[in-house]
Structure 1
Amino acid sequence: MTSAEKPKYEVPVIKLERALRTKKEVREKVKEMLGGGVVRKFNKDAVDCPVRGKRVSFLECYICPNFIRRFKGTVHCRGRSIPISSAKG
């Protein structure tokens, strides 16, 4: 990834009252990378994923190979198709 990479999609982050269900493996992976405080902060955030065609937790979005960055409440996404094993999070 280069800093000049152009995203195919810019998806707004949605703040939820209650967190979407996220697999424990996904939460643990993000916790290892960013720390527990960040996981708690992002746990109630979601995005309407243009690749998977449904609303997913931001934590799942973060570990997706299409994720480029999150900037000012918007997720920048490469928009490439992903293998089924990655899609399950």
Structure 2
Amino acid sequence: MAEKDYKYEIEIIKLEKPLKIDAKLLEDLKQAKLSRKMIAEMKKEAVNCPVLGTQVPFLQCYNCKNFVRRVKGKVYCRGNPL
């Protein structure tokens, strides 16, 4: 059996209004070739980060070094200290 490459499995939360996201982070994501439509959808999503202990925008989670993957409304996180 393969060893897990993640520590946490986190549900994605859909929001009515987007959370504030740092402008530099948005620029980095645009450089990473994500489409505007995809970024606009992800702005309205958040996760309860187990590492930081707070709710953070999904785009911040996506750009984190602990991010492993996102599958079917779940985010897989390594859980290492930041």
TM-score (norm 2): 0.90
- Aligned CA-pair RMSD: 1.2
Moved over 6 A (4+): none
Q: Which has the higher contact order (CA 8 A, sep 6+)?
A: 2
Q: How far 1:38 sits from its partner (Å)?
A: 1.2
- Give 2:39's aligned residue: 39
Letter matched to residue 50 of structure 1: P
Structure 1's unaligned 5+ residue stretches are: 83-89
Question: Which protein is richer in helix relative to its size?
Answer: 1
- Give 1:6's aligned residue: 5
Distance 1:31 1:58 in 2: 15
**SS of corresponding position for 1:41:** helix
Structure 2's unaligned 5+ residue stretches are: none
**Percent of paired sites with the same residue:** 43
Distance 1:5 1:20 in 2: 31
Deviations 1:54-87 (A, max 9, x none): 00000000010000001000000000001xxxxx
**Count of residues paired in the alignment:** 79
